[in-house]
Structure 1
Amino acid sequence: MIALIITVCAIALPAQCQDEHLPMASGASPRQCAMSAPPYIAKWVDEHPQWRVVRWHCEIPHSNDKA
């Protein structure tokens, strides 16, 4: 499994930033994740208008990370 990690900052408090982990399709490669990320990011932004995305990347979660 691969995850899309977006770093978002609050519009009202730009210094308040956090990472959001969005699971991607099982079996997707990092390249497939990167190619299909923009619609997922757009949907997340549409559902969370109080946040703005400042960066994003795809990664394979480590087994000791929280799900």
Structure 2
Amino acid sequence: MSNQYEYVPHRLLRKHVRDISSGNEGELMAVINENVSDTGIERWMELAYIRGASGREFTTAVDNLEPA
């Protein structure tokens, strides 16, 4: 099995973004290519880590991001 995650560059890093699936907004802190499988069969997905106004971070698929 390879690494569990790797950081991915993204044009919106450190910018204010909106998660279109939830409507939540915040600053894009990182995009990470993560193995999200819990079955032992690798399943990789690019997740966006967004820090909301409360200071708590949440994740969403990178395809759900838009500039806010």
Q: TM-score, normalised by structure 2?
A: 0.29
Q: Using CA pairs under 8 Å that are at least 6 residues apart, name the structure with larger relative contact order, 1 or 2.
A: 1
Q: Which of the pair is proportionally richer in strand?
A: 2
Q: Which of the pair is proportionally richer in helix?
A: 1
